[in-house]
């Protein structure tokens, strides 16, 4: 539901790797429409991964 990285572990690629594993697992199951809600702090990670901002959420184009 939520992803959080403790401050002392940030900037090590943990969140990016976790996101990559989750997206790949979803796609392996035939899920290509992925949306999420992002905090202001998390938004750059999702944008870097390819998510695009929508009105109230972000979406990863399939």
Q: Alpha-carbon distance 20 to 14, whole Å? A: 10
**Of residues 58 and 55, more confidently modeled:** 58
What confidence score (pLDDT) does residue 62 get?
82
The 10s digit of each residue's pLDDT in 11-55 is 999 999 999 999 999 999 999 999 999 999 999 999 999 999 988
**Of residues 62 and 1, more confidently modeled:** 62
What confidence score (pLDDT) does residue 31 get?
96
The pTM for the full model equals 0.84
Distance between alpha carbon 5 and the CA centroid of its chain, in Å? 13
Q: Domain coordinates of the chain in residue numbers?
A: 32-62
Q: Are 38 and 16 in contact (CB under 8 A)?
A: no
Q: Give the mean pLDDT of 1-8.
A: 88
What tokens appear for 62 in the block? 């399939």
Write phi, then psi, for 45 (nearest 5 degrees): -60, -50
């Amino acid at each position: 539901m939520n992803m959080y990285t403790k401050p002392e572990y940030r900037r090590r690629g943990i969140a990016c790797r976790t996101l990559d594993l989750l997206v790949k697992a979803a796609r392996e199951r035939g899920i290509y429409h992925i949306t999420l809600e992002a905090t202001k702090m998390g938004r750059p990670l999702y944008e870097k991964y390819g998510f695009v901002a929508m009105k109230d959420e972000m979406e990863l184009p399939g």
